[in-house]
């Protein structure tokens, strides 16, 4: 990670943050006033996209739940900067396995209600997507099928996506967090959840937000996952939700293996492990409600 080429007089400490998949450079800033901030830097060529991201963060911040609050945005020394508040606490994915099942469920429910609030924001006409992601996801599935990374016995999952891709995007598009899972949530000192990392926001299918429960949620806490789903739907979700979720899980389980290729063998192995777990939970996609839900 490159060193920060510029800094402000009131900053007393600057340390790089390496966590996450984002291409942004990230720094933890400590100020003379005792505040802790998050600085995200991007290439100037991404000005328009990052400016839009900052506007979206401001929309989310107006909802009032704990999150990285927007502080400043601009361009300096050929870099786009975004200054946000720092959310104190531990990564929720680290904390969940240490908590009681009741507390895991409570946090899942809190997360589900936060997600529901994000999805409640009226979508500006200019942000309405002009097409769905169906064609793109089928293209990504083809990339997996044509790769050297195919798993034995994946045919049922591949066919399930192809047969049911028309089910996704049946709900009105919403503003999404884009990467909503325990790795992007913070367990704060008071026991509440803080939300971070909005750089994958987009407008799309609200039910798409849930497939990462299978990928990154279930392996740390099933009660959290169940709580998030039930709170979002104020009870058990409709059958249509499960059919759509199964499409997203089948697609992501397969394509994530191909996607991980750019990060090396260790990441590929992790995605293969998650894919095999999804095959087991969904009976090779012969069932749509995963075994862990009950």
Give per-residue pLDDT as tens, 11-61.
888 999 987 667 789 999 999 999 999 999 999 999 999 999 999 999 999
Nearest CA-CA partner of 185 in 135, 225, 245: 225
Instruction: Please give the sequence-ordered ranges of beta strands (E in DSSP) within 157-291, or none if there are none.
Output: 174-176, 185-187, 193-195, 202-204
| Banded pLDDT at 1 (limits 50, 70, 90) | very low
User: Structurally, what CATH architecture does the domain formed by 11-85 represent?
Assistant: 2-Layer Sandwich (3.30)
Whole-number Å distance between alpha carbons of 265 and 268: 5
Question: pLDDT-derived band of residue 7, with 50, 70 and 90 as boundaries?
Answer: confident
In angstroms, rounded to a whole number, what is the distance separating the alpha carbons of residues 185 and 226? 16
Place of tokens 């080429």: 5
pLDDT tens, residue by residue, 53-89 = 999 999 999 999 999 999 999 999 889 999 999 999 9
Domain spanning 91-293 has what CATH number? 3.90.1200.10
Return the pLDDT at 12. Answer: 86
DSSP assignments along 180-211, one per residue: -SGGGEEE-TTS-EEE---TT-EEE-GGGGGH
Q: Is the distance from CB of 50 to CB of 82 less than 8 angstroms?
A: yes
The per-residue pLDDT for 167 is: 98
Angle at CA of residue 291, ends 287 and 294, nearest 5°: 120
Cβ neighbors of 77 (< 8 A, separation 6 or more) are: 5, 6
Query: What band does 177 get if pLDDT is binned at 50, 70 and 90?
Result: very high
Q: Hey, where are the domains in the chain? A: 11-85, 91-293
């Amino acid at each position: 990670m490159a060193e920060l080429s510029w800094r402000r007089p009131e900053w007393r400490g600057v340390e790089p943050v390496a966590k996450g998949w984002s291409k942004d450079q990230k720094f933890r800033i400590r100020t003379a006033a005792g505040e802790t901030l998050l600085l995200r830097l991007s290439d100037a060529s991404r000005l328009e996209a990052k400016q839009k991201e900052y506007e979206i963060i401001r929309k989310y911040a107006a909802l009032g739940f704990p999150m990285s609050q927007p502080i400043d945005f601009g361009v300096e020394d050929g870099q786009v900067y975004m200054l946000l508040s720092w959310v104190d606490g531990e990564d929720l994915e680290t904390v969940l396995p240490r908590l009681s099942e009741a507390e895991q469920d409570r946090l899942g429910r809190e997360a589900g209600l936060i997600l529901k609030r994000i999805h409640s924001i009226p979508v500006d006409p200019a942000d309405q997507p002009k097409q769905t992601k169906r064609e793109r996801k089928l293209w990504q599935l083809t990339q997996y099928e044509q790769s050297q990374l195919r798993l034995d016995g994946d045919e049922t999952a591949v066919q399930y996506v192809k047969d049911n891709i028309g089910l996704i995007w049946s709900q009105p598009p919403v503003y999404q967090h884009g990467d909503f899972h325990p790795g992007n949530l913070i367990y704060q000192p008071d026991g509440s959840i803080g939300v971070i990392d909005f750089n994958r926001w987009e407008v799309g299918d609200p039910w798409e937000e849930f497939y990462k429960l299978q990928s990154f949620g279930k392996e740390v806490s099933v009660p959290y996952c169940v709580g998030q789903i039930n709170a979002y739907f104020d009870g058990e979700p409709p059958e249509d939700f499960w059919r759509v979720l199964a499409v997203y899980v089948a697609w992501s389980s397969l394509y994530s293996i191909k996607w991980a290729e750019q990060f090396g063998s260790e990441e590929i192995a992790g995605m293969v492990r998650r894919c095999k777990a999804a095959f087991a939970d969904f009976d090779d996609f012969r069932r749509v409600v995963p075994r862990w839900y009950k």
